[in-house]
Structure 1
């Protein structure tokens, strides 16, 4: 039997397993809270790995190894920034957001939390939040579909569009029916698959390249600066890379996991599991790229697309069926992020836009149906954006990541730690941050000089702070919730 047959069997088994999890979650989903937030029932391991898998996307197994393969360790500053940012997010945001969203009207989305936390009667804050989520997540979902098309093209020689449609169909199916629980359970399985694959490929790959010393020597033959974190790097470049960590505070598809965990006490265990998983996975992705550089140098071969180095090494190193499981890890990375983003985008459309604009007394069953239709509509728009295959995965991801980090990051932090934040301040800051990222990120001269998340985050923070100071008026209800959240936080720790 051909190697493609074994690999295809592994992929089919993986996809059937994901659909089965979707069916299982569908049977446990009875209302809108279940569909959007899983009934706040996630344990620490599922929370940690689902947050990590949702975070990393195809970038972890394709975008990052591709960047390291092309340039060297100077691209690893992104991984360093992300690890620090993720740790701080778990430490400072997770416990407070869990209790505050419960205290403040039992909010199930970030826009509904901000509206309730700031007692915004105009609904403008909720609508603006929903629109920003809708716009940037459509780009984000598109990046995953691009990765899916590239995956099938490089792995099976399949046409890019056919591959994109296969990945999209499966992930949309289990997300559409199973909702948040399906997304979280599949992300947990996908996180484990990615973790073991990213450790196995570079470890086994080292035996082909002659060990550490031989591998390093081969890399230096390609470019002696490739193993340096600083040679060839600029101060602005390092700041731009490390600044990726700022994005964590404003990523709806990640911080929604903090809202869904069973209790504050379990955030500590989840943090340890999540950061351990993340650090080792990022190390594995970087090591995979370095082993790939050495292997192709030693064999005088050329890799056509740097972003497929993990896939190529997996096919070289392992038996075709095991290589198929490695390929499933790539699919896991791609699909976990698409599904997480789709469910948050669906919640933005239904919970934060439809409910805010159209006063409706529809049943929960009706809202769940509308949520599923929202998943389908966003998927179709994202597919249209991904169809030309003219953007790199990293470029699409970086733009969307900056959009959320710049628009939401400072506001989430201030909402949890500063009692005097106002709805007007949050609204103006959010819009200022989103516009800054949108303009900066589309002007090549600006985005090449400094990653757009830096100006977006700083402008959002400054505008939010100063407008809040000017518009602050004491509010007994806000003060009570702020102190109630602190009391509950202390009680549950």
Structure 2
């Protein structure tokens, strides 16, 4: 068999495995709570790997290595910021959100949590949140489909639409029928595949290039500053340098408001599971990010000055090194890891969009539906969003990929401060939350479309800060004591305390 045949065989095995997992989840899904949150029964390891896989997407295996290959270790600040943000998210958001979403009338989505937590009887906050989810995630899903089409086009010479259709159909199938559990279990398999690939490739590459000393020497010959995390410091205005690093690391702020990530916290078995989840999740992030960075750094010396090892696209450094150093079938599994990163993110976002359509827009109009009908509506929501996203992705020259950072900032600035204040401040009001959310989202949109401002600072920073300020000010102006909110807040705090964990289970 040819090398390409081996690689396609490996990808085929991976695709079949994802469909099998989706079928397994389908047989265990009976109502909307199962479909959207897997019945709140996720073990910490499952939740952690799922959150990591759905978070990272193709950026981890292509975007980050490409940036490191071009500029050196200075580009690692985004990975550092993301790791810190993820740790803070697991530490301060996960246990409280798991408890509060169940205490507050069993909220199973972020928009429904805002409404039930703040007792907003107008539904305006929930509707506005749902619209933000649908708009940003439809484009986010579409960007993943574009990446999938280009992946098959670049790796195997397939027509763009054929690659797009293949990934869309497989991902849609296991998400459509398996729901949240299907997306989560496939995320676990995909996360493990990504971890294996990101550990194996740099280790083998290091051995093949003569060890650490030889690799470091080759790297320095090409770029003396490649191994310097603080490259550029002291060579000009240090304040501007520091602001640039802060802007890059500020990606970590986005974690608090990402619906497809925090929903994993809501699905944990208990609030106390967050501690184990944090250790597993952050360990996974450190290992995978380190593997991506190491591969790119080794590639700097390996590809330099040798026309026979031409690297035309820096973002393919990880893929090319896997093809050079491994058997074609194993290299195919590494290629499957890239698909895993893309597909895990798409599936998670489809489920969140489905929940926004069904739980947050259909159900609030007062229509009654049986559990079976609710699941059917959830699957219909997945299909609708996937079709719209696929239509947007038909243009392979679309700039949708440029909106990934924009969407991350949008969610982080619109939802992040509200999630934190909901969990830690009793006096948050629905009016304050709505005002802050709209200001945060608008700031990201305006700031991100003014080049001078966008170049100076990532738009999530001003959006997050302005949301926080407006929410606090308006909440203080509109606050009225509410006995039910006080009671639920106190119960949530009691449940997440270590003493409560030893004495009683989480109440519904």
Same fold (TM over 0.5): yes
Q: CA deviation at 1:355?
A: 1.9
Pairing 1:282-431 to 2, within 5 Å after superposition: 282-300=289-307, 301-356=309-364, 358-390=365-397, 395-431=402-438
Counterpart secondary structure, 2:458: coil
Q: CA deviation at 1:393?
A: 8.3
1:212 corresponds in structure 2 to 212
Q: Is the 8 A contact 2:139 2:400 kept in 1?
A: no
Q: If the length of structure 1 is used for normalisation, what is the TM-score?
A: 0.97
Report the CA distance shift for 1:291/1:191 in structure 2 as closer, same or farther (over 3 A). same
1:32 corresponds in structure 2 to 32
Q: CA deviation at 1:144?
A: 1.4
1:408-431 per-residue CA deviation (whole Å, 9 max, x = no partner) reads 001000000000000000001011
What is the distance in 2 between the residues matched to 1:345 and 1:430? Answer: 18
1:122 corresponds in structure 2 to 122
Pairing 1:63-462 to 2, within 5 Å after superposition: 63-232=63-232, 234-300=241-307, 301-356=309-364, 358-390=365-397, 395-462=402-469
1:492 corresponds in structure 2 to 501
Q: CA deviation at 1:394?
A: 6.8
Q: If the length of structure 2 is used for normalisation, what is the TM-score?
A: 0.94
What is the distance in 2 between the residues matched to 1:264 and 1:290? Answer: 39
Report the CA distance shift for 1:5/1:343 in structure 2 as closer, same or farther (over 3 A). same
What is the distance in 1 between the residues matched to 2:174 and 2:115? Answer: 30
Counterpart secondary structure, 2:409: helix
> What's the RMSD between the two structures over aligned residues?
1.5
What is the distance in 1 between the residues matched to 2:445 and 2:363? Answer: 27
Report the CA distance shift for 1:314/1:169 in structure 2 as closer, same or farther (over 3 A). same
Q: What is the count of residue pairs matched by the alignment? A: 492
1:244-275 per-residue CA deviation (whole Å, 9 max, x = no partner) reads 11111111111101110111221111111111
What is the distance in 2 between the residues matched to 1:154 and 1:216? Answer: 30
Q: Which moved more, 1:326-335 or 1:294-303?
A: 294-303
1:152-180 per-residue CA deviation (whole Å, 9 max, x = no partner) reads 12221222222122111110111011100
Q: Is the 8 A contact 1:59 1:394 kept in 2?
A: no
Report the CA distance shift for 1:253/1:294 in structure 2 as closer, same or farther (over 3 A). same
1:173-213 per-residue CA deviation (whole Å, 9 max, x = no partner) reads 11011100001100011111000100111111112322222
Q: CA deviation at 1:485?
A: 1.0
1:466 corresponds in structure 2 to 473
Q: Which moved more, 1:196-205 or 1:392-401?
A: 392-401
1:376-413 per-residue CA deviation (whole Å, 9 max, x = no partner) reads 22112222333333467873321111111100001000
Q: Is the 8 A contact 1:144 1:393 kept in 2?
A: no
2:493 corresponds to 1:480:
no
What is the distance in 2 between the residues matched to 1:172 and 1:448? Answer: 36
Q: Is the 8 A contact 1:218 1:298 kept in 2?
A: no
Q: Which moved more, 1:303-312 or 1:467-476?
A: 303-312
Counterpart secondary structure, 2:227: coil
Q: Is the 8 A contact 1:253 1:344 kept in 2?
A: yes
Gaps of 5+ in 1: none
Counterpart secondary structure, 1:121: coil
What is the distance in 2 between the residues matched to 1:346 and 1:483? Answer: 32
What is the distance in 1 between the residues matched to 2:427 and 2:481? Answer: 8
Q: Which moved more, 1:394-403 or 1:66-75?
A: 394-403
Counterpart secondary structure, 1:389: coil
Q: CA deviation at 1:487?
A: 1.6
Counterpart secondary structure, 2:27: helix
Q: Is the 8 A contact 2:272 2:496 kept in 1?
A: no
1:306-346 per-residue CA deviation (whole Å, 9 max, x = no partner) reads 22221111111100111111111111111111100110111
Q: CA deviation at 1:44?
A: 1.1
What is the distance in 1 between the residues matched to 2:390 and 2:249? Answer: 31
What is the distance in 2 between the residues matched to 1:91 and 1:121? Answer: 31
2:236 corresponds in structure 1 to none
Counterpart secondary structure, 1:426: helix
What is the distance in 1 between the residues matched to 2:199 and 2:306? Answer: 23
What is the distance in 2 between the residues matched to 1:268 and 1:61? Answer: 27
Q: CA deviation at 1:365?
A: 1.7
1:327-372 per-residue CA deviation (whole Å, 9 max, x = no partner) reads 111111111111001101110111112222x331122222221211
What is the distance in 2 between the residues matched to 1:224 and 1:159? Answer: 40
What is the distance in 2 between the residues matched to 1:390 and 1:441? Answer: 21
